[in-house]
Amino acid sequence: MNATPLEAAAHAVTPRSRYLRCEGREIHFMDWVPHAPNGQTVVAWHGLARTGRDMDPLAEHLCALGWRVICPDTIGRGLSQWSPTPEAEYCLDFYSRIAASLVDQLALKRFHWVGTSMGGAIGMVSAAGRLHGRIERLVLNDIGPQLAEAAVQRIRSYAGSPPGFDTVSELEQYFRTVYKPYGQISDAQWRLFTESSTRRLPDGRVTPHYDPAMVGQFTHHPQDYDLWPTYDRIDVPVLCLRGADSDLLLADTAEAMRDRGPRALVVTIAGCGHAPALNVPEQLELVQRFLAGH
């Protein structure tokens, strides 16, 4: 049976694991390069305690259609270097500096940005600051200029003291519990979710692959996520995806985003909370259509 054009294009996807030194720190990223490029690039940035591999489904989908997709691991996460000065560097301003250095070294003059949670906040800060005029379209995945305090405390409670487990299977079960609000995730996706964000502790146990000190952002930079003035300066099209059951991006905040600043297009995603996993056809096509200007 002959493959469809989209199925054939999917086999042309070639992700590369790469490293660059940005602001003096080694940053890892996956570089999804299409064999038949459409001339468009997307920077896809993950959430607070996650890694760039969370963006694999979106990157594969877009890359099969000709988009180049850059998926970094934030400093202190995944395969990127941990900060030797966490109090100063685990904050949105330094993350934005890293992002600017990364796209400069990749010679990206214009590109789109898709950010989940913290990745969206970095996108807002960058679009209104260092990367103003270079980000063409911005997708904010369950993040806005104001966070619900109860959700911040919930995230701090599990992210600040990551547990250790004897086996990877136990860690996967932990992830399935903590990230249940992500919505519909297949068994294979849960396994990739786990294996792409696991590190071994000195005693042989396994734990999530990030520096626990990164949660100090909320202590050392308590106003980091108070972003209404930043949001109001954004002057590019914005799509905001809100999980219907999100406890981080409240409905009234999302509604205000429709009326202020860039006047975001807000779409509620049923069946999930914080944050939609960007892993099912409906979500992938929604993002793709927006980035394409439809």
Rounded mean pLDDT, 173-181: 95
Return the residue matching tokens 């086996």: 167
Alpha carbon distance 186, 4 (integer Å): 24
In tens, the pLDDT along 13-39 reads 779 999 999 999 999 999 999 999 999
| pLDDT for the residue 13 | 73
Alpha carbon distance 185, 2 (integer Å): 29
Rounded mean pLDDT, 254-265: 98
Angle subtended by helix axes 56-64 and 281-291, to nearest 10 = 60
Domains of the chain, with CATH numbers? 5-291 (3.40.50.1820)
| pLDDT for the residue 158 | 83
Rounded mean pLDDT, 50-62: 97
Burial of 2 (0-12, 13-18, 19+ CB in 10 A): exposed
- At residue 1, does pLDDT exceed 60? no
| pLDDT for the residue 15 | 93
Can you read off the two tokens belonging to residue 246? 């999100």
Rounded mean pLDDT, 188-205: 97
Burial of 168 (0-12, 13-18, 19+ CB in 10 A): middle
Rounded mean pLDDT, 212-218: 96
Rounded mean pLDDT, 181-209: 96
| pLDDT for the residue 4 | 45
Q: What percent of the chain has pLDDT over 70?
A: 96
Work out the mean pLDDT of the chain and round it to a whole number: 95
- At residue 9, does pLDDT exceed 50? no
Rounded mean pLDDT, 79-106: 98
